[in-house]
Structure 1
Amino acid sequence: MHDIPGLLVPTLFHAVQRDGFSFVTADTMRPLLQSVGELSDWDAFADSWNRLGPDPYLAAKGRFRRRCHATFTATAHGAVEPAPHQPHYQALQYNALQGDIQRWFEPVDSSVAKGASLRTILTFCNDFFGSLSPSVPHWHVEVHQFRIEASIDVAGEPTPEGSHRDGVDFVLVLLIDRHNIASGTTTIHSPDGQLLGDFTLAHPLDAALIHDPRVFHGVTPVMPLDATEPAHRDVLVVTFRAKS
């Protein structure tokens, strides 16, 4: 593993191993990321959320969000490499709203995919998740850029499928930006529905680390604070699934 700040990692490891999740504030997440790479293009990286295309599959269900998607492969504590553009697929048991279909989304812009910030985030995930599952030699990695927009008439739904699992091994949810919104509280539940924790990603680089097989997660709808201003919640979601 890279030299991630020594006192931080055991605490996060313990939390994820014990509880199945950990909420990580930006003042902790930033040094963790910067210990394995650079965030030198962060402003351009965050700005790319302004150019996401609409999610056509969700629009067909009468809901709206913006989304781009990319796929990578990773080796244990090694390189994370881009994979050919491909559909995103979840079984119906994990996504009752849009399961059992291959969904093609606009690809993450190549400048974002190759940029310092995303490469650093992926390196951190490969190190951290790989250390939690050291027997896994190869990972299937997916990256999702999400923008949830809200208006006074229509609440934004970060997780329209409700509390759910993603059908992977590990999930990183990283806040990029939130503007003029209220709520958006992340909730973590046990499989029997018991609330295990809740927190709000409020500042850029606030994050949730989730062991997906153990817990369900969801996010409450968001509403604008000022009805006359645009309102959005931007997140990056990275998933790691062991390749068979």
Structure 2
Amino acid sequence: MNTLDISRTLSELEKIKGEYVRNRMVFIDGARVVELLKGLGATDADLEQLKSVSDHLGVDPTLPFRESKNCRFVYDGEQRRIERGEFQPFVLSAEEDFVRHDSGQIRKFDEVENDLQLNTAFQQLLRINEFMARGVDIEQRPGMDYDSPHWVCTLFHLRTVTTPELVGEPALEGVHSDGVDHTMTTLLGTRNMTEDSAVTYLHDMRQENAVAWDKADPDLVVGSCQHRHFLDTMLVVDHERKHSLSPVRALDPQQRSTRDMLVFFTRKPAMEGHVSYPYDSLGRHVGLPMSVDYLDHEAGSRHD
């Protein structure tokens, strides 16, 4: 790994982080993300492998138009290391600005496996996610332990599917927040999707929750972006900007259309009384261990 490449990449990431802090969101073009990942050590083979890793997802527990897996990573601020966390169910409540038919429901997803977590390009995305969240002053959520040196990142690996019988909704819940401190979304690929599909709209926090993307108050729309190219990535301070998305539409309406994403939900650990507290272990995953150091440590990765 070239130390000069790493130094230049960290300098570039500092510029992007500065934009994130100023605007409370940032969109990074996929070609730029590729260069960042390669500068940190991602291989061409692993970048290519990311384009097909979504072909092995499981059945989503509550949404018929989605395939999914998830897992948890613990950002250990004392050891300055990212560790794969043990399996936990997932819950997101209406009180956290997420209003949907499954709000508050305990959901269990198939687990992310080594085909994703040992991919060097994915590992660098994870490190970038931690780097972007570190030290940023944000509007704090109730029930989170902001004195903790640790962060919890729940990763969702998702495929939204549209068929002749079913419209895929990347955000069926309409305007919402994700119940976290930082949300990062990265596109892995699309198939047979129209150019006006899956536009992300950012909303002022005064916007009512659960309003459809096209019914929201235009005066409270504070920005928009669209993931169109491989590794296009958006970050948003989740408790300062709500968001919504338009549906996935098929270019050929007789054929299946897909949109593959990685979604990183990053927050401080939950405290007792919070809906996620019973499912917020900081323990390591025994069966699927993985560890990478923070970006200012160059000890590489470990999965033993």
User: By the TM > 0.5 criterion, same fold?
Assistant: yes
Cα deviation for residue 4 of structure 1 reads 5.5
Alignment-mate amino acid for residue 162 of structure 1? G
Deviations 1:206-227 (A, max 9, x none): 0101111100112100110012
Partner of residue 48 from structure 1, selected from 40, 53, 69 = 53
Cα deviation for residue 112 of structure 1 reads 1.6
1:45-84 equivalence runs, <5 A: 45-59=50-64, 64-76=65-77, 78-84=80-86
Partner of residue 114 from structure 1, selected from 114, 118, 121 = 118
The structure-2 alpha-carbon separation of the partners of 1:36 and 1:127, relative to structure 1 and needing over 3 Å to count, comes to farther
Give the Cα–Cα distance (whole angstroms) in 1 for the partners of residues 8 and 148 of structure 2.
20
User: Is the strand fraction higher in 1 or 2?
Assistant: 1
Give the Cα–Cα distance (whole angstroms) in 1 for the partners of residues 56 and 263 of structure 2.
17
Alignment-mate amino acid for residue 56 of structure 1? P
Give the Cα–Cα distance (whole angstroms) in 2 for the partners of residues 186 and 113 of structure 1.
26
Cα deviation for residue 54 of structure 1 reads 1.7
Instruction: Identify the residue that residue 192 of structure 1 maps to in structure 2.
Output: 206
Instruction: Identify the residue that residue 278 of structure 2 maps to in structure 1.
Output: none
Alignment RMSD (CA, Å): 2.1
Instruction: Identify the residue that residue 95 of structure 1 maps to in structure 2.
Output: 98
Alignment-mate amino acid for residue 95 of structure 1? F
**TM, length-normalised to structure 1:** 0.89
1:127-206 equivalence runs, <5 A: 127-132=131-136, 137-182=149-194, 183-193=197-207, 194-206=220-232
Give the Cα–Cα distance (whole angstroms) in 1 for the partners of residues 245 and 66 of structure 2.
14
Q: How many residues align?
A: 239
- Bigger Cα Rg: 2
Give the Cα–Cα distance (whole angstroms) in 1 for the partners of residues 115 and 21 of structure 2.
35
1:26-37 equivalence runs, <5 A: 26-37=30-41
Q: Is contact 1:68–1:105 with CA below 8 Å preserved after alignment? A: yes
Whether 1:210 aligns to 2:210 is: no
Q: Structure 1 residues 207-216 or 34-43, which shifts more?
A: 34-43
SS at 1:227 equivalent: coil
Alignment-mate amino acid for residue 190 of structure 2? R
Instruction: Identify the residue that residue 245 of structure 2 maps to in structure 1.
Output: 219
Give the Cα–Cα distance (whole angstroms) in 2 for the partners of residues 189 and 131 of structure 1.
24
Deviations 1:115-141 (A, max 9, x none): 212211111111121142598621111
Give the Cα–Cα distance (whole angstroms) in 2 for the partners of residues 108 and 46 of structure 1.
16
Question: Sequence identity, in percent?
Answer: 23
Cα deviation for residue 41 of structure 1 reads 1.6
Alignment-mate amino acid for residue 188 of structure 1? L
Give the Cα–Cα distance (whole angstroms) in 2 for the partners of residues 105 and 200 of structure 1.
26
SS at 1:33 equivalent: helix
Cα deviation for residue 7 of structure 1 reads 5.6
SS at 1:73 equivalent: strand
Instruction: Identify the residue that residue 8 of structure 1 maps to in structure 2.
Output: 12
The structure-2 alpha-carbon separation of the partners of 1:4 and 1:106, relative to structure 1 and needing over 3 Å to count, comes to farther
Give the Cα–Cα distance (whole angstroms) in 1 for the partners of residues 7 and 237 of structure 2.
23
Q: Structure 2: where are the runs of 5+ without partners?
A: 1-5, 138-145, 208-219, 271-304
Alignment-mate amino acid for residue 22 of structure 1? V
The structure-2 alpha-carbon separation of the partners of 1:79 and 1:121, relative to structure 1 and needing over 3 Å to count, comes to same
Give the Cα–Cα distance (whole angstroms) in 2 for the partners of residues 85 and 220 of structure 1.
31
Q: Structure 1 residues 84-93 or 34-43, which shifts more?
A: 34-43
Alignment-mate amino acid for residue 9 of structure 1? L
The structure-2 alpha-carbon separation of the partners of 1:124 and 1:3, relative to structure 1 and needing over 3 Å to count, comes to farther
Give the Cα–Cα distance (whole angstroms) in 2 for the partners of residues 181 and 114 of structure 1.
29
Q: Is contact 1:13–1:132 with CA below 8 Å preserved after alignment? A: no
SS at 1:118 equivalent: helix
Cα deviation for residue 71 of structure 1 reads 0.6
Deviations 1:6-35 (A, max 9, x none): 663344223322322111111222222233
The structure-2 alpha-carbon separation of the partners of 1:84 and 1:4, relative to structure 1 and needing over 3 Å to count, comes to farther
The structure-2 alpha-carbon separation of the partners of 1:242 and 1:35, relative to structure 1 and needing over 3 Å to count, comes to farther
**TM, length-normalised to structure 2:** 0.73
Give the Cα–Cα distance (whole angstroms) in 1 for the partners of residues 70 and 265 of structure 2.
11
Give the Cα–Cα distance (whole angstroms) in 2 for the partners of residues 219 and 37 of structure 1.
33
SS at 1:32 equivalent: helix
Q: Structure 1: where are the runs of 5+ without partners?
A: none
